[in-house]
Structure 1
Amino acid sequence: MYIIPAIDILNKKVVRLREGDYQQVTQYDVSLEEMIERYQSNGTELIHIIDLNGAKSDFSNQQYLFDVIKKTDMKIQYGGGIRSIDKVKELTDAGIFRVIVGTQAITNPTFLDELSKTMCGANKCSDQIVVAIDVLDEVIKYSGWMESSPIKLMDYVDRCLQLGFYRFLCTDINKDGKMGGAGIDLYKKLLEHSPFIKLIASGGVSSMQDIEQLSKIKVESCVVGKAIYENRITIEDVKNWNLNALTTM
């Protein structure tokens, strides 16, 4: 298992939300460019960038984000406001390592089918497409976590698998931004239901002990943001963990 440092952007500022609530924002006195440079200089090759404006269908951040991303040779896992197949192709063609799809996959009944036909080949979906599942008490949320889906969690996972998608970014909203530990129980349920999915855990990680717990249940990776900004997990910790993960694979 490896750690993916997270950078959330709202109004061109580096922030973190609590439980996905745009009224509970912590803003950090550092730019996106500076955060990318910090990670790059410490040996991290993959980072997770979310456009929180885009998640609410406000695309005022996009050009800024694309301009910054184009200047780095880091591998980028990118999400927020991706509403069309053309946008997915634009991002992958531009060199984005992984594209996260969320709201559109929930609200548009044909989106995942069309994306599968367009993007899936021999293992291609797993490498380039990440399906976001944002969960509050086993209810799937979307549109910046402001809307609830009637689709049952495990039914949604099964449908994605049938279409060739098997890398999932699962955020436990109950845990997100609280620094109270990761959603171990939720991730266990997902992995017991579908042991072969590639699961990226997100939300609540506050210490290296949380990282160790996630590693034990065999998630593929975890996203860490606030814990790094608030020095509960250092960038050196991330580097050392990921180097060790590489040597023990």
Structure 2
Amino acid sequence: MIIPALDIYNNNCVRLFKGKYSKPKIFCNNPMKVFLFFLNKKVKRLHLIDLNGAIKKNCNLLIICNFSKIYNYYKISKIQIGGGIRTYKKFKYFSYFFYKLIISTLIFKKVFFLHYFFRKIIYSIDIKNNFIYSKGWKKKECKLKEIKKKRLTKEIICTDINNDGTMKGLNINRFFIFRKIKVKLIISGGFKKYKKCKINNVIGFISGISIYKKKVSLKHAL
């Protein structure tokens, strides 16, 4: 399954190159238009990220709140949302409206309320040079192999930061560590074309630029 990505930065629909915020590629200055496009296409799942929220404040909060109201009406696609969801108030609100909540920074913090929402959470394991990064891919946390020590969510997103936004094709070797871990894996970073994956527990591929540039069909997302 292909999962389209809708990343919002400064109220625009963008894609980053290798996680670098300095030169975001703007694909549309109307994120609502893109959001409605995917809903009207009836994609099975949508990956929604507030990039501003991931590194500092949720300046796109109004847009996302409007998304939640529309989604509550449609209820067609399953939407996984992330980027700056770090308070109980936000967890409570977003868990009501959206299918899954994506967290990365909070994986490495002791947060008392996380267990209340654990079934709604997807861990995002963002990797670069065999290390896991958080805070919008800016803070190095630990070696990738140490993730085995964590209590993991049933589904995990794993992004190859060095390959993200390049359209060079997925580097499947980066994700082999998850073959023997009992999780459902969604992988991201460099997606170019849809093909069978060598890792049996992979359930989806997140795609951004390949979709926006019409290099890959949405038929595998429906």
Structure 2: gaps of 5 or more residues:
none
**Cα distance in 2, alignment partners of residues 177 and 146 from structure 1:** 16
Structure 1 letter corresponding to 2:168: G
Q: Is 1:203 the equivalent of 2:194?
A: no
Pairs aligned (count) = 218
Q: Is 1:92 the equivalent of 2:95?
A: yes
Q: Which residue matches 1:75?
A: 78
**Cα distance in 2, alignment partners of residues 47 and 177 from structure 1:** 17
**Cα distance in 1, alignment partners of residues 104 and 37 from structure 2:** 28
Is the Cα–Cα contact under 8 Å of residues 160 and 166 in structure 1 kept in the other structure? no
Structure 1: gaps of 5 or more residues:
243-249
In 2 relative to 1, CA 67–41 (structure 1 residues): closer, same or farther, beyond 3 Å? closer
In 2 relative to 1, CA 190–69 (structure 1 residues): closer, same or farther, beyond 3 Å? same
Q: Which of 118, 124, 144 does residue 153 from structure 1 map onto?
A: 144
Deviation at 1:10, TM superposition (A): 0.2
Q: Percent identity among equivalent residues?
A: 29
Is the Cα–Cα contact under 8 Å of residues 154 and 190 in structure 1 kept in the other structure? no
**Cα distance in 2, alignment partners of residues 183 and 168 from structure 1:** 17
Deviation at 1:188, TM superposition (A): 1.8
Structure 1 letter corresponding to 2:139: E
- When the two structures are superposed, what TM-score results if normalisation uses the length of structure 1? 0.81
The Cα RMSD (Å) is 1.8
Query: Secondary structure of 1:160's partner?
Result: coil
Q: Is 1:130 the equivalent of 2:122?
A: yes
Larger proportion of helix: 1
Query: Secondary structure of 1:134's partner?
Result: strand
- When the two structures are superposed, what TM-score results if normalisation uses the length of structure 2? 0.90
Partner deviation per Cα, 1:38-62 (whole Å, 9 max, x = no partner): 2223231321100000001222111
Deviation at 1:172, TM superposition (A): 0.5
Is the Cα–Cα contact under 8 Å of residues 78 and 99 in structure 2 kept in the other structure? yes
Larger proportion of strand: 2
Structure 2 letter corresponding to 1:200: I
**Cα distance in 1, alignment partners of residues 98 and 191 from structure 2:** 25
**Cα distance in 1, alignment partners of residues 12 and 175 from structure 2:** 30
Q: Is 1:119 the equivalent of 2:117?
A: yes
In 2 relative to 1, CA 45–217 (structure 1 residues): closer, same or farther, beyond 3 Å? closer
